[in-house]
């Protein structure tokens, strides 16, 4: 998300956070066959300016319990700017020492207002029971109470920056135990983590990719994360050292030397150069050096403050010039069905007719093309799956019962699945290899009986697959 440079104060009421904001919550699929989920986009725009700094006020004198909690949430929204120093002013000393805000981020929908109950004072947005006003209790010695926040959940982000979307009807329920301290209410107990609106979250956090080499070493695979936009380069390097997420780990490697540690000062940046000196064993050969430089350079230059990396391992420099280019993805190329047949589309123009209409078969639909220019094309028809090689021009046809829309990876392998109950996943090679049956749907879903796949797909980088499915006879999503 692009942010302008400057420092801005968080609005003084949660209702003021209702500015519309698109939350581009990208999720990766997985390299092993997953038990849930469907392919999601993971490419994001890289900001070209410094992240937005937020600030908030400390606790106001004489705040009621609910007002104190609301102001605490505003201070949490600014927490990535001041390392939660202002937010800790709302806590007792004991709570401040035990609270770990970086553990979890819970994001609630901006288009709905959170409700508050407890603490005596009615929520002006309708949160306290029937909404009738009751006087807030005074902060007399020994007084204690609980304020509960309830909000429509959008997502959670764990301490590794991995985002998980919430179910459509999911709710955030967060309790704050308050106690009287020197005549003022303070939060004495709370769960680790923070609760933020979508707007506050996208102002303070940025989606970026950790890049890990494919197992073939010829491409970098993106592992999407959400990190605080402030000191993004340090979070990205720490993420690389932590390794890939479980979902893509089987499909990638890492050039980071085993046991490498993050510099104590994080990533120092001067004149848009990120200075990285890893404490680790030096790479074994030139190929390992280049792969390490490629991985770190590609990852850290997503930060708007970084244009290149000055890289060394235990004091010995590594050149970051002349790095591998990786595959050339033709992201502006597509295929479509027209009156003439199956056509290749580049940008907004039809480049050529690939397969005449009369040769497509009965009821042609769902065309797909590999992300590498001039590669494999696939489509469905009444007989099943048709595959046209981009290298040899050979066509192969495969009988598949009720196939899902195909997808093609960068190697030219075509992925589909039979949506019939208990059907199998099929992988077809571009030049006649396959189709190779994959795992039965029942094994994908585990226990629960026969299932029907409704969507199946593989990512273009060949590192992720995902699907949607329904249990037969139940119709519910697993």
Q: What is the DSSP string of 441-467?
A: HHHHH-SSS-EEEEEEEE-TTSS-EEE
Is it the case that residue 3 has pLDDT exceeding 60?
A: no
Task: Name residues whose C-beta falls within 8 Å of residue 264's C-beta, 6 or more positions apart in sequence.
Answer: none
User: Quick one: pLDDT at residue 463?
Assistant: 63
Is it the case that residue 421 has pLDDT exceeding 90?
A: no
Strand order in the sheet with 377-381: 365-369, 377-381, 384-388, 395-399
Q: What would the pLDDT profile of 371-387 be if each residue is shown by its tens digit?
A: 876 678 999 999 988 98
3-state secondary structure 128-193: CCCCCCCCCCCCCCCCEEEEEEEEEEEEEEECCCCEEECCCCCEEEEEEEEEEECCEEEEEEECCC
Q: What would the pLDDT profile of 100-143 be if each residue is shown by its tens digit?
A: 999 999 999 988 889 999 877 654 444 444 444 457 788 899 89
Provide the terminal-to-terminal Cα distance of the chain, rounded to the nearest Å. Answer: 32
Q: What would the pLDDT profile of 273-282 be if each residue is shown by its tens digit?
A: 999 999 999 9
Phi, then psi, of 51 in degrees rounded to 5: -65, 155
Given 4.10.520.10, 3.30.70.60, 3.50.50.60, 2.130.10.150, which CATH number is that of 333-471? 2.130.10.150
> In the predicted model, what is the mean pLDDT of residues 328-345?
84
State the pTM of this model.
0.75
User: Quick one: pLDDT at residue 229?
Assistant: 94
Nearest-angstrom CA–CA distance, 158 and 196: 13
**CATH 2.130.10.150 residue window(s) in the chain:** 333-471
Which is nearest to 202 in space by CA: 222, 225, 223, 226? Answer: 226
User: Quick one: pLDDT at residue 456?
Assistant: 59
Q: What value does the mean pLDDT of the chain take?
A: 79
Q: What would the pLDDT profile of 217-233 be if each residue is shown by its tens digit?
A: 889 999 999 999 999 99
Q: What would the pLDDT profile of 231-258 be if each residue is shown by its tens digit?
A: 999 999 999 999 999 988 988 999 999 9
Is it the case that residue 328 has pLDDT exceeding 90?
A: no
Is it the case that residue 287 has pLDDT exceeding 60?
A: yes
User: Quick one: pLDDT at residue 50?
Assistant: 55
């Amino acid at each position: 998300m692009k942010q302008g440079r400057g420092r801005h104060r968080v609005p003084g009421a949660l209702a003021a956070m209702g500015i519309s904001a698109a939350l581009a919550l990208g999720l990766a699929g997985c390299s092993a066959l997953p038990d849930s989920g469907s392919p999601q986009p993971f490419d994001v725009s890289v900001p070209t300016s410094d992240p937005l700094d937020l600030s908030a006020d400390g606790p106001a004198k004489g705040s009621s319990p609910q007002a104190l909690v609301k102001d605490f949430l505003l201070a949490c929204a600014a927490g990535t700017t001041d390392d939660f120093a202002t937010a800790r002013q709302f806590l007792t000393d004991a709570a401040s020492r035990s609270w770990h805000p970086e553990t979890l981020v819970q994001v609630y929908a901006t288009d709905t207002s959170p409700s508050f109950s407890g603490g005596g004072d009615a929520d002006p947005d309708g949160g306290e029971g029937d909404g009738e006003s009751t006087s807030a209790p005074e902060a007399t010695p020994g007084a204690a109470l609980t304020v509960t926040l309830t909000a429509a959940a959008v997502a959670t982000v764990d301490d590794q920056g991995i985002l998980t979307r919430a179910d459509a009807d999911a709710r955030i329920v967060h309790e704050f135990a308050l106690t009287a301290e020197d005549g003022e209410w303070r939060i004495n107990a709370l769960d680790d983590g923070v609760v933020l609106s979508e707007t506050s979250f996208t102002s303070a956090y940025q989606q970026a990719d950790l890049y890990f080499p494919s197992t073939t070493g010829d491409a970098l695979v993106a592992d999407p994360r959400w990190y605080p936009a402030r000191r993004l380069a340090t979070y990205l390097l720490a993420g690389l050292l932590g390794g890939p997420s479980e979902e893509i780990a089987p499909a990638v490697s890492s050039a980071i030397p085993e046991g490498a540690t993050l510099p104590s000062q994080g990533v120092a940046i001067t004149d848009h150069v990120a200075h990285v000196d890893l404490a680790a064993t030096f790479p074994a050969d030139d190929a390992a050096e280049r792969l390490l430089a490629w991985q770190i350079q590609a990852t850290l230059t997503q930060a708007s403050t970084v244009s290149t990396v000055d890289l060394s391992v235990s004091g010995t420099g590594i050149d970051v010039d002349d790095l591998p280019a990786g595959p050339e993805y033709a992201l502006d190329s597509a295929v479509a069905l027209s009156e003439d047949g199956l056509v290749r589309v580049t940008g907004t123009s039809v480049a050529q007719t690939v397969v005449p209409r009369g040769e497509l078969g009965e009821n042609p639909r769902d065309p797909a093309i590999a992300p590498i220019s001039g590669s494999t094309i696939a489509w469905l028809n009444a007989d099943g799956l048709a595959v046209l090689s981009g290298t040899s021009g050979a066509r192969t046809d495969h009988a598949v019962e009720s196939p899902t829309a195909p997808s093609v990876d960068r190697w030219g392998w075509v992925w589909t699945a039979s949506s019939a109950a208990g059907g199998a996943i099929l992988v077809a090679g571009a030049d006649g290899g396959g189709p190779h049956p994959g795992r039965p749907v029942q094994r994908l879903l585990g226990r629960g009986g026969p299932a029907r796949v409704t969507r199946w797909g593989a990512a273009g980088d060949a590192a992720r697959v995902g699907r949607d499915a329904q249990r037969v006879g139940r119709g519910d999503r697993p």
